[in-house]
Structure 1
Amino acid sequence: MAFAHKQSIIPGAEERRRFQRVKVHLLGRYMLPDRREFPCQVINMSPGGLALLGPGIGNIGDRVIAYLDHIGRVEGKVTRIIDNGFAMSVGATPRKRDKLAAQLTWLANRDILNLPEDRRHDRIVPRNPIALLTLEDGSRMNCRIIDLSLSGAAISAERRPPLNSMVTLGAVKSRVVRNLEDGVALEFVHQQPAETLEDSVNVR
């Protein structure tokens, strides 16, 4: 998928006309100028801008700093208000825009090919399958790790955390990506080193 820079037909047309937007489902957090932070879901993105859904709506022109899964830190300004969120520009050097284009191409191709994140690495059964799961509201419960990889885990527990909620398995920040027959599948926010994987998920 190419992210060619297009010549704007109308002078001063918005950034979203200059780059091809990709539909994505990325979770993250963002901070407004008053330093309040909110969780968010990015619904489309290009190397020059993005649209997100979130509870805190800034004013047009406000500076925004966001930390997004798979993308990292981006910053820019609110360009327009949408239902339950806003669109923002992405301020980046040409090198950073090239990197963003490559990341977005990978994400789009992953969705087209329907490749689950947790199938990128071999899965193992840990020596100690009992772990502590911390939910988004701070509550904790014991769970059993069904299997584990460098990028995710399948767990069973008495209660299923909601889909797309952020949880912590041991010391590993994760997102709930799928319901299983007796539990859920988790995707780790960051890929884990093989040598510390089991120790990290067993931290209590």
Structure 2
Amino acid sequence: MAMPAENPKFLPFTEERRRHQRVKVNLLGRYMLADRNDYPCQVVDMSPGGMAVLAPVSGNPGERVIAYIDHLGRLEGTIARVFHNGFAMTIAATARKRDKLAAQLTWLANRHILNLPEDRRHGRFTPRNPAARLILPNGTNVACRVIDLSESGAAIGISDDQRPPVGAVVTIGKAPGRVVRHIEGGFAIEFTRLQHPDFVEDNVTGG
């Protein structure tokens, strides 16, 4: 669900801006506050150390946030400040995770600058570890095998009795997508969003 496009009113993360370059993004996701309720959100401004979120419920400064953001997966942090249509939060992450976020944000920024089409087809490859977890439309989490993989989709091996119908929305690893066709012994999925080429294998199979 898209959130209001109104520009958020908030002060910059002074210290965080000194350490990390912030970039404009447009990423949808969901988040959970201390009350454990789940809400939709839209990230509009982000760095490896923090992000600004348009959200229906802002929470309170210092409150813990767990967010699941397209392309980026699970992010944790605390609310730094609130504004009338959302909040700004810090991101708690290891140095390795921050480096990965920086690379993903650079790719996202360059993709928008270059206006790369998200439905462009990419060369497929066989993952090092084909074992993965698949979340079916009914919420069931099952084991599956990734036959091959690209930035835009994957071929999944699974038993016929567990194979979802064409058009079903599923999640393979951390990558959501839609079943586009059935193949022998499985099905093909097209990702909802184009995956970063350096991290697509980690997002789908966990490496």
TM-score if structure 1 supplies the norm length? 0.57
Kindly provide the amino acid, as one letter, of the partner of residue 105 in structure 1: T
Q: Which residue of 1 aligns with 2:81?
A: 80
Paired residue secondary structure (1:189) = strand
Q: Distance in 1 between matches of 2:179 and 2:151?
A: 5
Q: 1:199 to 1:27 in 2, by over 3 A?
A: closer
Gaps of at least 5 residues in structure 1 are 1-11, 123-133, 135-148, 153-168, 175-187
- 2:47 aligns with 46
* Separation in 1, partners of 2:37, 2:47: 25
Q: Secondary structure of the equivalent of 2:119?
A: helix
Check 1:40–1:199 CA distance in 2 against 1; reply closer, same or farther (3 A cut).
closer
Q: How does 1:1-204 map to 2 (within 5 A)?
A: 13-121=14-122, 151=152, 170-172=167-169, 189-190=176-177, 196-198=186-188
Alignment length, in residue pairs? 137
How far apart are 1:199 and its partner, in Å? 8.1
Q: CA deviation at 1:150?
A: 7.5
Do the aligned partners of 2:170 and 2:178 also contact (CA within 8 Å) in 1?
Answer: no
Contact preservation (8 Å) 1:121, 1:150:
yes
**How much has 1:16 moved relative to structure 2?**
3.5
The higher radius of gyration belongs to: 1
TM-score if structure 2 supplies the norm length? 0.57
- Unmatched tracts of structure 2, length 5 or more: 1-12, 124-136, 138-149, 154-165, 191-207
Q: CA RMSD in A?
A: 3.5
Deviation for aligned residue 1:23: 0.3
Percent identity over the alignment is: 63
Cα distance between partner residues in 1 of 2:188 and 2:151: 10
C-alpha distance in structure 2 between counterparts of 1:61 and 1:20, whole Å: 23
Name the SS of the counterpart of 2:103 in structure 1: helix
